[in-house]
């Protein structure tokens, strides 16, 4: 299997590279051959060569720069989504797939226009929160942390329902983006390390649903997840 970590150097806040590391370890423990390619701005990549594509979160400035570069992959990315290639975009990465991002100065940056939503950034405050999200795809909630300065309007197929934390917009009880095997979320932590059940689900999408994956080695991650969910749930119940 070939994994692609795109813009690994400039879209890598919050230790996002660990999402790729977690997948690699899981595949290797399961006896599966796996390679991960790290590519960035100056590279030209054939997306169809890969079984999985990952883009992490970056500063707002870096996100705008990357979004302009990502235009060269627009058609290939749409094809990958439609073909069911598993794609994970964390933090503000999935914001690039919409019509536009309007920055805090009111300047509009053209998005990839693969989806109808729009993004508005502000620079007065960063919106931060611990989070508990649920999804129909998974039998357990997800935990993590949100840190963003954007509001996203017009997502018709969100990934998660917010039990605690922040949605796509201030008045939105849904979070993220989901289309075929594309998963976009502002959850950081990194999300696959904090949520071993999501790691296993995503790995199954990449390797094939009949592939046997070894859960050995996830003991600490599972214990940490249980503690995080319990503590956040208790805090949420007291609010």
Give the integer Cα–Cα distance in Å for 170 and 105: 20
CATH assignment at residue 186: 3.40.50.880
Q: Are 192 and 22 in contact (CB under 8 A)?
A: yes
Q: Supply 102's token pair.
A: 């309007």
Closest CA to 193 of 12, 74, 19, 49: 19
Q: Are 149 and 125 in contact (CB under 8 A)?
A: yes
Per DSSP, 56 falls in state: -
Q: Supply 227's token pair.
A: 């503690």
Beta bridge partners of 146: 129
**DSSP percent split of the chain into helix, strand, coil, nearest 5:** 35, 25, 40
Reduce the DSSP state of residue 237 to 3 states and report it.
Answer: helix
- The secondary element (H helix, E strand) that includes residue 232 is helix 219-237
Domain membership of residue 197 as a residue range: 2-237
CA angle 5, 6, 11 (to 5 degrees): 100
Domain total in the chain: 1
| 127 class by beta-carbon count within 10 Å (0-12 exposed, 13-18 middle, 19+ buried) | middle
Give the integer Cα–Cα distance in Å for 177 and 223: 28
The 3 state secondary structure assigned to 117-164 is CEEEECCCCCEEEEEEEECCCCCCCEEEEEEECEEEECCCCCCEEEEE
Closest CA to 191 of 128, 138, 144: 144
Give the rounded distance of the alpha carbon of 106 from its chain centre: 26
Q: Supply 44's token pair.
A: 């030209």
Model pLDDT, residue 125? 82
pTM above 0.85, yes or no: yes
Q: Are 181 and 174 in contact (CB under 8 A)?
A: no
pLDDT tens for the chain, 239 residues long, are 999 999 999 999 888 899 999 999 999 999 999 999 999 998 999 999 999 999 999 999 999 999 999 999 999 999 999 999 999 999 999 999 999 999 999 999 999 999 999 999 998 888 999 999 999 999 999 999 999 999 999 999 999 999 999 999 998 999 999 999 999 999 998 999 999 999 999 999 999 989 999 998 899 999 999 999 999 999 998 87
């Amino acid at each position: 299997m070939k994994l692609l970590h795109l813009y690994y150097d400039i879209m890598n806040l919050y230790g996002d590279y660990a999402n790729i590391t977690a997948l690699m370890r899981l595949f290797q423990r399961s006896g599966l051959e796996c390679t991960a390619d790290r590519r960035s701005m100056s590279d030209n990549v054939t997306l169809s060569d890969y079984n999985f594509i990952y883009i992490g979160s970056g500063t707002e400035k870096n996100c705008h720069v990357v979004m302009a570069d990502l235009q060269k992959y627009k058609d290939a990315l749409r094809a990958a989504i439609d073909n069911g290639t598993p794609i994970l975009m964390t933090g503000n990465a999935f914001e690039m797939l919409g019509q536009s991002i309007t920055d805090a100065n009111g300047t509009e940056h053209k998005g990839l226009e693969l989806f109808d939503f729009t993004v508005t950034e502000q620079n007065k405050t960063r919106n931060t929160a611990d989070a508990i999200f649920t999804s129909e795809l998974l039998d357990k909630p997800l935990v993590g942390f949100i840190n963003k300065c954007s509001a996203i309007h017009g997502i018709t197929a969100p990934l998660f329902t917010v039990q605690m934390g922040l949605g796509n917009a201030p008045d939105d009880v849904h979070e993220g983006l989901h289309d075929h095997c594309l998963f976009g979320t502002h959850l950081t932590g990194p999300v696959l390390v904090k949520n071993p059940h999501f790691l296993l689900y995503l790995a199954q999408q990449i390797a094939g649903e009949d592939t046997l994956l070894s859960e050995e080695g996830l003991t600490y991650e599972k214990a940490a997840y249980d503690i995080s969910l319990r503590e956040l749930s208790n805090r949420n119940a007291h609010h």
